[in-house]
Each structure stands twice: as structure tokens, then as C-alpha cells.
Amino acid sequence: MTKLIYELSRPGKRTYIPVKKENISSKFPHELLPSKFIRKKKAYLPEVSELEVVRHFTNISQLNVGVDTNFYPLGSCTMKYNPKISEYITQDSQFKDIHPYYPEKFSQGALEILYETASYLEKISGMDKVTFQPAAGAHGELTSLLVIRAYHTANGNPRKKVIVPDSAHGTNPASSALAGYEVIEVRSNEKGMVDCDHLRELMDEDVAAIMLTNPNTLGIFEQNIKKIADLAHEYGALLHYDGANLNAILGRVRPGDMGFDTIQFNLHKTFATPHGGGGPGSGPIGVKSHLVKFLPVPHVEKKKGGAYFLNYDYPESIGKVRAFYGNFLVVLKAYIYLRILGERGIFETSAGAVLNANYLLGLIKDKFDLPYNERYMHEFVVSTKRYKDKGIKALDVAKRLIDYGFHPPTIYFPLIVKEDLMIEPTETEDREVIEAFADALNSIAEEIDKDPDLLKEAPHVTPVGRLDEVWAAKHLILRYEKTEN
């Protein structure tokens, strides 16, 4: 195993740092800063040479698996390729080195990008106004719910409950609870869609919102969406669209037209910005006109003469949910992606995503169980239930896929399917990759019959073998601590 950089540390090792003398303050920190900000103990930093740093991080980076190295069909996460031109452009100092405190007149270009990207997202989603403040999908869910709470409060009663499907992502109930709502679960029916009769039973005037993703987490389109939206609105509740699965319907149907009042986008999924590692996330939200005044401030707006400005004049706003205007460079990457695709490209994206998923499903469906025999969209869920007698679980299949050179799919989500693999290939993979992955899954299915231990002990080709997840969950170590030696 690789050592930690702290373990490489030896007293006195240094790296040459070229600095211009005139840029250095000749004062010590305690002469410049109030004493409460001065650390009492010397910071414990690793002492290593430049070469050691380079080798250390290069070696670690080579252990990493990402979209740039392997097929990564992680269901619900839309691990599509992130075009390198986005990295190239965002490294330009005109973007990279600007500061949010620059006066508006020097930031017109940046404001234009925020404004334009918002207008694209508004058009794609059928919403009236988009803000970029939230820093992740889950943060966007929370922000949407705070907007919904502000709306109900302005109408005299914040209400008490949020309804989420039993197939929902864990962040949906978590965001609801954080926004001060009680979470109520609505059942899925035998087709994997919201059970509308159950939903009707659950509805009352205390319901603030229903959260749905469409297609849902099984990859199945909620055909009763109009009925659900009408039901919500009949009781004065609002409908939130979890945009995690927007890739499936991009350019085809719009959440706004389905009756949704709010949406959160996951730029790192649908709009090809990095999932962490390469930078922070972004979870913009969009709302219908009746909710615009509750959005976080400032709004980026355009004056009659064409100049962009930041408008803070929204007294009913929920306030800020993050510093400044969101993660600007991430928004810029989404803007670049949208400009590369254009309207036609966006339209074709969803077709490619759905085609790839269905082609892959067709290639493997004889060897795995299909819990719902419905039309799938950009992703699908199969189960390894039939292999239970051999002692094989979904986890074992996932680990074995690593040996074949693939990142495993999502497993054990959504919770309503037992022993499931949730597979989302995305549109950026070509036919050969899809077929190679199908071959791997089918050959693993054969291995289960011949030599199940091969799976139970997988992965075999990684620097470390099967990790002890129970031990890791129970002995959580979140930071390095120096041990005296």
C-alpha cells in the first residue's frame, strides 16, 4: 500500500520555492492579526522534497479509477465524459483569476455567462428562473424546499409534511427533514411507479410538497405524472423535480410542462461537469414564476441597455445559501458543454442515453432478474436474486466487475429492489464499450455456475482485495493523527 505523505515526512526536508522578495511581508502574523487567530501550536505539516511530492501524488493518481480511465456505469450518477475543452477554457486567467468582489462593470463577461447559462437551463426545464447558488444536487433540494417553505409561510402556513416515494434517493428525505418537514413515504406499485391510490390517501392540507424524479430511480418514466401534479396542486402542495435523471429526457419533455414547480439540476451529472475531484459541485435550482421572489439573492439580471447587474432587491428572498453566486467555474463548464451541443446535440443526448441503456439491458437480460418488466429509459435495475442459492450477492458481482476492468454499477439502491445492480451507461460510451461490458456481466454469470468463490474473493487485480466494509463503518477514521514513535 502507498504510504501517507505524513509517513514520508523527515525533519528538515524542504523544497525550493521561488518567490520575489518584494512580495513578502516582513511582518510576522502576530503583528498583523488579532491574537485569537494565531495558532498556539505549530502546524504539523509533512516535510518532504519536491520529487517526493510529485511521485507520491502521481502514484496515487495512477491507482484512481475514473471516467477518463474506465467505463463507469454508476446508476443515478450519470458518469458521462467531461470534455477537456472545458478544463482548457476554465484555466484561462480571464475566468480563473477574477474575484467575486470585482465591481459589476469589470465582471460583465462572468455575469453574462451566469445569465446565459440560466436562460438555457430555464428553456430546457420549462422553469421561469434559475439560480446557481446551491453547491450540489442535495443542496439544491434543500434550497428548493426552503423556497417552498417560504411560499407556504407567505400564504399563512408553512405546512408540515413532504411526500417522497419509497424508491427515492436518500437525499430527498434528508433534505426534507433539514427543511423542517416530516417525511412521508408513498409506495411504488407493481410497475415501479408511484402508487396513485396510496398518494391520494396520504394527501391533505398539511402536505407542503411532493418530491419526484422522472424517470424515477428505477429508470422508469412516471406515466401518471400529470395526475400526480394535479393531485398535489388540488391540495395546494408544490411538486419538486429531483433533476438527477434529467439526462433521460433532455430536449424531449420539460419538468415545467409536467406540472413541476421547482427543480434542482445536477450540473455534474447532466451537464458534464466533474463529480468532485476536478472541482466543487453545482446544484442550481429553477422555479416557476410564483416562486421567483423567494429565491436566494442576488439574481443576475439584465438592464434595458444590455448591462448585467446583481439584484438584491427581493425582500421575501430566503437569503443566501452560499457565498457569492455559486461555483462559477463549474457553471462555466456547463455553459461550454451546452454551447458545444447546441439545441440539436441536446436533443440527441437523451436519445443516446436511452438507446445505450436499452441495448445493454437487451444483451444481459437473460442472465439476471428484471424486477420490473417495463420500458426503461437512461438506466435500468436488474437483480442477482437467482444466484442467491449459490451464495452470490450483488456485491460479489460488482466486485468481480473490477477484475474485468470496469467500475461497478450502483448497488443496493433503490431500496425497494433486493440485490440489485443499477446500471447507467450514458450516451458518451460507444457500442464496443457497451458490448464489452455486457460480455463481462454474462461471463461473470457463467462463473457463478462454475466457480462462485472467484466472485466471493473478488477483486483479484486491485492493490488491495475485498475491503472489510463493516470494520470500516465501525472504525471511522477521518483524519491522520501523528503517532509518537
Partner 1 sequence: MELRDGLLYSKEHEWLKVEGDEGICGVTDYAQDSLGDVVYAELPEVGKKIKQMEPFMVLESVKATSDVYAPVSGEIIEVNEKLQDSPELVNSDPYGEGWLVKIKLENKDELNNLMDKEAYAKFLEEEEK
Ligand X SMILES: Cc1ncc(COP(=O)(O)O)c(C=O)c1O
The one of partner 1, ligand X, none whose footprint includes residue 76, by CB under 5 to 8 A per kind, is ligand X
Grid coordinates belonging to 386? 437467482
Where in 182-211 is the site for ligand X (CB under 6 A)?
A: none
Whole-angstrom distance, CA of residue 127 vs CA of residue 263: 8
Q: Rule CB under 6 A: is residue 175 a binding residue for ligand X? A: no
Q: Rule CB under 6 A: is residue 334 a binding residue for ligand X? A: no
Whole-angstrom distance, CA of residue 4 vs CA of residue 56: 8
Nearest-approach distance from CB 54 to ligand X, in angstroms: 32
Q: Is 159 left (phi over 0), alpha (psi -120 to 50) or beta?
A: left
Nearest-approach distance from CB 138 to partner 1, in angstroms: 16
Q: Which residues contact 382 (CB under 8 A, 6 or more apart)?
A: 361, 364, 365, 368, 369, 370, 371, 420, 421, 423
- String of contacts with ligand X for each residue 277-296, x by CB under 6 A: ----x-x-------------
Query: Closest CB to ligand X among 117 and 266?
Result: 266
Nearest residue to 284 (alpha-carbon basis) of 267, 268, 304: 267
Nearest-approach distance from CB 148 to ligand X, in angstroms: 16
| Strands 161-165 vs 207-212: parallel, antiparallel or unpaired | parallel
| Other beta carbons less than 10 A from residue 460's beta carbon | 12
Q: Which residues of 26-64 are buried (b: 16+ CB within 10 A; e: fewer)?
A: eeeeeeeeeeeeeeeeeeeebbbeeebeeebeeeeeeee
Where in 248-267 is the site for ligand X (CB under 6 A)?
A: 266
Beta strand residue intervals within 265-394, DSSP E: 285-287, 299-302, 308-311, 380-383
DSSP, collapsed to helix, strand or coil, labels residue 196 as helix
Query: Closest CB to partner 1 among 432 and 469?
Result: 469
Query: Closest CB to partner 1 among 6 and 413?
Result: 413
144 alpha-carbon distance from chain centroid: 16
The one of ligand X, partner 1, none whose footprint includes residue 474, by CB under 5 to 8 A per kind, is partner 1
Please pick, from the candidates 129, 159, 161, 169, the single residue that binds ligand X as defined by CB under 6 A: 169
Query: Closest CB to partner 1 among 173 and 243?
Result: 173
Q: Rule CB under 6 A: is residue 213 a binding residue for ligand X? A: yes
Whole-angstrom distance, CA of residue 382 vs CA of residue 150: 40
Please pick, from the candidates 1, 19, 43, 470, the single residue that binds partner 1 as defined by CB under 8 A: 470
The one of ligand X, partner 1, none whose footprint includes residue 473, by CB under 5 to 8 A per kind, is partner 1
Q: Rule CB under 6 A: is residue 176 a binding residue for ligand X? A: no
The sheet with strand 207-212 has its strands ordered as: 129-131, 285-287, 262-264, 238-242, 207-212, 161-165, 182-186
What separation, in Å, do the N-terminal and C-terminal C-alpha atoms of the chain show? 20
The one of ligand X, partner 1, none whose footprint includes residue 412, by CB under 5 to 8 A per kind, is partner 1
Please pick, from the candidates 137, 215, 255, 274, the single residue that binds ligand X as defined by CB under 6 A: 137
The reply to whether omega before 409 is within 30° of 0 (cis) is: no
The one of partner 1, ligand X, none whose footprint includes residue 415, by CB under 5 to 8 A per kind, is partner 1
Q: Rule CB under 8 A: is residue 474 a binding residue for partner 1? A: yes
The one of ligand X, partner 1, none whose footprint includes residue 217, by CB under 5 to 8 A per kind, is ligand X
Query: Closest CB to ligand X among 143 and 428?
Result: 143
Q: Which residue has the cell 461497478?
A: 408
The one of ligand X, partner 1, none whose footprint includes residue 293, by CB under 5 to 8 A per kind, is none
Whole-angstrom distance, CA of residue 206 vs CA of residue 435: 50
The one of ligand X, partner 1, none whose footprint includes residue 261, by CB under 5 to 8 A per kind, is none
For ligand X, which stretch binds (CB under 6 A), given 58-66, 131-139, 158-166, 350-358?
131-139
Please pick, from the candidates 153, 402, 412, 466, the single residue that binds partner 1 as defined by CB under 8 A: 412
Q: Rule CB under 8 A: is residue 314 a binding residue for partner 1? A: no
Q: Rule CB under 8 A: is residue 415 a binding residue for partner 1? A: yes
Please pick, from the candidates 418, 442, 454, 456, the single residue that binds partner 1 as defined by CB under 8 A: 418
Whole-angstrom distance, CA of residue 341 vs CA of residue 102: 31
Whole-angstrom distance, CA of residue 362 vs CA of residue 459: 26
How many residues are listed for the chain in this entry? 485
For ligand X, which stretch binds (CB under 6 A), given 81-89, 111-119, 136-144, 146-154?
136-144
| Strands 285-287 vs 262-264: parallel, antiparallel or unpaired | antiparallel
Where in 54-93 is the site for ligand X (CB under 6 A)?
A: 76-77
Grid coordinates belonging to 228? 400526480
Whole-angstrom distance, CA of residue 365 vs CA of residue 371: 11
Nearest-approach distance from CB 282 to ligand X, in angstroms: 8
For partner 1, which stretch binds (CB under 8 A), given 307-315, 337-345, 353-361, 410-418?
410-418
Query: Closest CB to ligand X among 181 and 387?
Result: 181
For partner 1, which stretch binds (CB under 8 A), given 42-50, 226-234, 430-438, 469-477?
469-477
Residue ranges binding partner 1 (CB under 8 A): 170, 412-413, 415, 418, 469-470, 473-474
